[in-house]
Structure 1
Amino acid sequence: MAISCYCSLWTGSRRVITLWIAVRTGGRVAIQGIILDVDGTVILASKVLDGASETLDILRNRGYKLVFCTQQNQDSDRKLSDRLNAAGLQIYEQEIVSAGTVAVDYLAQNHRGSQVYVVGADSIRDRLSLAGLKVLADRNGETAEVVLVATDPDVNLTRLSVAAEAVRRGADFYVTSLDRGEPMADRIIPGPGSLALAIAYTAGRRPVVLGKPSPAMVAAVRDRLQLPSSSIAVVGDQPAQDVRLGRFLGATTVLVMSGVTTPEALERTSSSYRPDVILPGIKDVPAWLDLNKQKQPS
């Protein structure tokens, strides 16, 4: 069964684009857990989005299990929680599943004791060392058995060249996400995806993605929620990351138009990335959940 309605959104040119919203309810059990993206969903440019804090309170008070799934890889989950709390969002460390933590855990489980070269910030190097990996410096990075690419505010040509040579020699090649850019305080720097692309193009090999929507991230959020896929909703602002994550989980997918996706871009989105539900923003999620609950099969 599908409930259909239409939603009109203003574009920058003041033109109205009408989007079809389909709430698929047939055969689904009630939503019990919600996976929420962070950037573009609850915050944008370090500012809390309208209604985000109140919405999280509503969802918790109604008993929904929440997980915040983010491509962030510099801060530990504890530091990210502290930063979000300082911004005005009550998000607990145990509710966060970040690409950085998934990457560290994955390498610790599959490459413990290996020599790894990191294109990334000092913080993720430190976390890898604590997890039992031998992090190499630039001078001997070409001999690495594993290369990991993450956000790197201090990246330079030497670091990219060393990583490319290690990959060319056969090192296992990973990237925390395919994000093209990372917003900093005063500028946007190339994201892990852009850095990995330069290395891949030079070395002639593609990286394995460990962030959204990879199997490693799917396993991490599934383990955290401990719920059937049919009772999970994934809410985010990017079809290629958040909607695909939901598809791989077998969950209901909800796209919010508060982040990077424009109505025009959504119209061009591949059918395999189309969400089940489109909402203006996070504050509209409780009303959608009410509608979804009313339409559950008796």
Structure 2
Amino acid sequence: MELNNVKLAILDIDGVVIKGRTPIPEAVEGIKILKEKGINVVYLTNNSTRPRKRLAELLGDIGVDISISDIFTSSYLTALYLDREADKDVRIFIVGEEGIVFELEEFGFKNLFWSNYEPPIDYVIVGMDRNFNFQKLTYAQQAIFSGARFIATNIDPTFPTENGIIPGGGSIVKAVETASKKQPVVIGKPEIVGLKLILTQFDIRDPEEVILIGDRIETDLIAGKRLGCKTGIVFSGITSKEELEDLEVSWKPDLCGENLLDLLGGDDYEDRI
């Protein structure tokens, strides 16, 4: 597939560019190739744990030319969503890490309950939380039972690290969903709220001028198909070749590769599998 008409590449981060804090070297080279072709590159990640500033520093340290405005995390998008929906004095209980807290504070939300629980609560926001426990689950459940709105930064069931795959934010979301018997509003992929915001920022009206490249079928690929843009899947994160083979033709990605560099240098999907 030719990328001549592509103006914007939207890359997932975890599993595509890095694993944990470890860079995927071929991805850095692939990003350079995209920029040499005159394609704008931005990053859309479901990972809610890191503030955008920290991600920009991390990617900069591994050789990626990047600014904070190039990064769209699920925590940032959640804060943007609340900024448009809620007053700044709403009371928010957070099951998550500093990425969510930082972005909400940046938007001016002040009544944030992260390490403590003080009802009444207006919103429960759930994301990746490596200190998740039964007490937090109970607090989230009770707040939702009392009328708080339930928002999930993402529903990724697993998370790729340099040491292997661990439970993701979606596993925690599912626990809260089960306990509260309430389905959340989901901000991250496979929902396309963030994708539409990015296209607006770059004044792109035709999704065919965009390629979304990720490592997950259930989030990255589905989000790209819903938006109507070109899609790519790499095998440096979660998804394997075998999993792609089982997909119906209409759901197969346009491109695939062992990593970003391989994807950009390869043939169309049907010639790779």
Q: TM-score interval w.r.t. the shorter chain?
A: 0.7 to 0.9
5+ residue gaps, structure 2, are 269-273
1:135 corresponds to which residue?
A: 112
Match of 2:141 among 153, 160, 164: 164
Give 1:117 deviation, angstroms: 0.8
Partner of residue 151 from structure 1, selected from 119, 122, 128: 128
Kindly provide the CA deviation profile for residues 232-285 of structure 1, in whole angstroms up to 9, marking residues without a partner as x. Answer: 111111111111121122101111222211122223345564212222321134
Equivalent-residue separation in structure 1 for 2:27 and 2:164 (angstroms): 25
* Deviation of 1:71 (Å): 1.1
The C-alpha deviation readout for 1:189-239, integer Å capped at 9, x for no partner, is 642211111111111111111011213222222223322211111111111
Alignment of 1:1-298 (within 5 A): 23=1, 30-113=5-88, 114-133=90-109, 134-136=111-113, 138-141=116-119, 143-182=120-159, 190-227=167-204, 228-269=206-247, 273-287=251-265
Structure ranking higher in strand proportion = 1
> How much does 1:184 deviate?
6.6
Deviates more, 1:99-108 or 1:47-56: 47-56
Residues in 1 aligned to 2:161 and 2:212: alpha-carbon distance in whole angstroms: 26
Q: Which residue of 2 is the match for residue 296 of structure 1?
A: none
The verdict on how the C-alpha distance between 1:186 and 1:112 changes in structure 2, with shifts beyond 3 A counting, is farther
1:80-136 residue CA offsets vs partner (Å, 9 max, x unmatched)? 010112233333222111111101111121122321111112442243234233213
In 1, Cα distance between equivalents of 2:57 and 2:233: 26
Q: 1: distance between equivalents of 2:188 and 2:253? A: 19
Larger Rg: 1
Relative to structure 1, the CA distance from residue 270 to residue 147 in structure 2 (aligned partners, 3 Å threshold; closer, same or farther) is: farther
Change over 3 Å in CA distance of 1:245–1:115 after alignment to 2: same
Give the Cα separation in 1 of the matches to 2:98 and 2:264.
Answer: 39
Instruction: Say which is worse superposed, 113-122 or 101-110, in terms of deviation.
Output: 113-122
Pick closer, same or farther for the CA change 1:282–1:90 going to 2, 3 Å: same
Instruction: Look up the SS of the partner of 1:140 in the other structure.
Output: coil
Judged with a 3 Å threshold, the aligned counterparts in structure 2 of structure 1 residues 102 and 230 are, in CA distance, closer, same or farther, namely: same
99-108 or 71-80: bigger deviation: 71-80
- Compared with structure 1, are the counterparts of its residues 123 and 46 closer, same or farther at alpha carbon in structure 2 (3 Å cutoff)? closer
SS state at 1:90 partner: coil
Taking a change above 3 Å as real, the CA distance of residues 166 and 272 of structure 1, as seen in their structure-2 partners, is: farther
Query: Within 2, Cα distance between the matches of 1:271 and 1:145?
Result: 43
Contact kept, 8 Å, 2:126 with 2:173, in 1: the verdict is yes
> TM-score, structure 2 length as denominator?
0.86
Distance 1:123 1:244, change over 3 A: closer
What's the % identity of the aligned pairs? 27
Letter in 1 for 2:244: L
> CA–CA distance in 2 between the matches of 1:266 and 1:284?
16
Counterpart contact for 2:15–2:236, Cα < 8 Å: yes
- TM-score, scaled to structure 1: 0.79
Q: Structure 1 residues 82 and 146, CA, compared in 2 at 3 Å: closer, same or farther?
A: same
Number of aligned pairs? Answer: 264
Deviation per residue, 1:10-33 (Å, 9 max, x gap)? xxxxxxxxxxxxx4x8xx981121
Return the alpha-carbon distance in structure 1 between the equivalents of residues 262 and 162 of structure 2. 29
CA shift at 1:174, angstroms? Answer: 0.7
Structure 1 stretches lacking a partner, 5+ long = 1-22, 292-298
Amino acid at match of 2:112: V
CA RMSD in angstroms, aligned pairs only: 2.5
